[in-house]
Amino acid sequence: MAKDVKPTRKNLMAIEDRIELSERGHDTLEQKRDGLIMEFMDILDQAQDVRSDLSSDYETAQRKIDMARAMEGDVAVRGAAAALKEHPEITTQSKNIMGVVVPQIESSKVKKSLDERGYGLLGSSARIDEAADAYEELLETIILAAEVETAMKKMLTEIETTKRRVNALEFTLLPNLYENQEYIEQKLEEQEREEIFRMKKIKAKKEEAEKEEEEQAAADAAAETEVEAAD
């Protein structure tokens, strides 16, 4: 990776800018991840409670309907259930938790009073009422569980994505940038050292040439003096 980068000062400055941006992004994403995890832990607690409620409500409802079927007969229970055509309704809205859009489910017509269940009061029994009550309770818990568990799933997905981004910055992008920065810095230093060395060499050569010139000039001057003396 580092070898693909041209070791120029301009690139070094660009990499330094990217490192600064990535470090800032990394810190922000880390904060986001921690925030999401905290929110997730709250939702998880809620989800665990709802799950446990769901499980106990289901057991209660199943038991009540089993007892109603046993004591009143399956035909009577089915008959009471068939006396109602209207279904419960749900409406979904959304809310934002740290940038994650989670659903908010509102239910209506789940809990019904005795006169809204369709079957007549005079010819039915408390067992059927209790089974209906228990199933209404269960349905409300299911709707709440759907809301909480969907929020939990969405939060989990977001945490995973954020974690991957943080890890990518921490373990791939930033190390590469640091490596490139180091490579360029080393290259630039090397170039600088080479430059100094070259300058020194040139200077030395120049000085040697000057010295030779001076020596030549001195030799020439001495020869001239000798000739003049011979004349």
In degrees and rounded to multiples of 5, residue 6 shows phi and psi of: -80, 125
Binding status of residue 114 toward other proteins by CB under 8 A:
yes
User: How long is the chain?
Assistant: 231
Binding status of residue 111 toward other proteins by CB under 8 A:
no
Binding status of residue 109 toward other proteins by CB under 8 A:
no
Q: How far is the CB of 109 from other proteins (least distance, A)?
A: 12
Binding status of residue 83 toward other proteins by CB under 8 A:
yes
Nearer to other proteins among residue 111 and residue 187 (C-beta): 111
d(C-alpha 23, C-alpha 17), whole Å? 10
Binding status of residue 99 toward other proteins by CB under 8 A:
no
Chosen residue from 42, 89, 116, 226 binding other proteins by CB under 8 A: 116
Binding status of residue 60 toward other proteins by CB under 8 A:
no
Binding status of residue 78 toward other proteins by CB under 8 A:
yes
Which pairs from 129-135 meet CB under 8 Å and 24+ separation? 130/64, 130/68, 131/61, 131/64, 131/65, 131/67, 131/68, 131/77, 132/80, 133/64, 134/57, 134/60, 134/61, 134/63, 134/64, 134/65, 135/61, 135/64, 135/65
Binding segment (CB under 8 A) for other proteins, from list 8-16, 58-66, 100-108, 200-208: 58-66
d(C-alpha 13, C-alpha 21), whole Å? 12
Chosen residue from 11, 46, 107, 125 binding other proteins by CB under 8 A: 125
Chosen residue from 3, 10, 75, 228 binding other proteins by CB under 8 A: 75
Binding status of residue 130 toward other proteins by CB under 8 A:
yes
d(C-alpha 76, C-alpha 128), whole Å? 9
Between β-strands 89-97 and 100-108, what pairing exists: parallel, antiparallel or unpaired?
antiparallel
Measured CA distances, 197 to 7, 52, 130, 182, 190 (Å): 19, 77, 96, 22, 10
**How many chain residues touch other proteins (CB under 8 A)?**
33
Binding segment (CB under 8 A) for other proteins, from list 9-17, 51-59, 83-91, 165-173: 83-91
- Identity of the amino acid at 194: E
Q: How far is the CB of 82 from other proteins (least distance, A)?
A: 4
Binding status of residue 63 toward other proteins by CB under 8 A:
yes
Q: Which residues bind other proteins (CB under 8 A)?
A: 62-63, 66-67, 69-71, 73-75, 78-79, 82-86, 113-123, 125-127, 129-130
